[in-house]
């Protein structure tokens, strides 16, 4: 992750953690359906 994004490993770890939490919240939205 650090090499792929070209940032120090400490920032990469923060990005990974934020991605995990964002995915967790995104999973919540999959339980809803868009209605027109």
Partner 1 sequence: MMDALELLLNTNLWAAVLRIATPLIFGVLGALLCERSGVLNLGIEGIMTMGAMTGWLTVYMGGDLWTGLLVAAMCGGLMGLLHAMLTVPLGLSQHVSGLGITLFASALSYYLYRLIVTVGDLPPTIEPFRPLDIPILSDIPVLGPILFSQTMPTYLALLSVVVMAYVLARTPLGLAIRMTGENPHAVEAQGLNPIRIRIGAVVAGSALMAVGGAFLTTAAFNSFFPEMVQGRGWICIALVVFASWRPGKALLGALLFAFFDAYQLRLQTVVEGVPYQLFLMAPYVLSIAALILVARRAQVPEALMTPYRRGER
Binding site for partner 1 (CB under 8 A): 8, 10-11, 13-14, 16-18, 20-21, 24-25, 27-28
Residue with tokens 């939205």: 29
The nearest distance, CB 27 to partner 1, in angstroms, is: 7
- Indicate the burial class of 17 (C-beta count within 10 angstroms; 0-12, 13-18, 19 or more): exposed
CB closer to partner 1 out of 5 and 17: 17
The nearest distance, CB 16 to partner 1, in angstroms, is: 7
């Amino acid at each position: 992750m650090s090499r792929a994004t070209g940032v120090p490993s400490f920032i990469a770890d923060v990005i990974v953690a934020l991605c995990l939490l964002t995915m967790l919240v995104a999973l919540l939205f999959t339980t809803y359906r868009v209605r027109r």
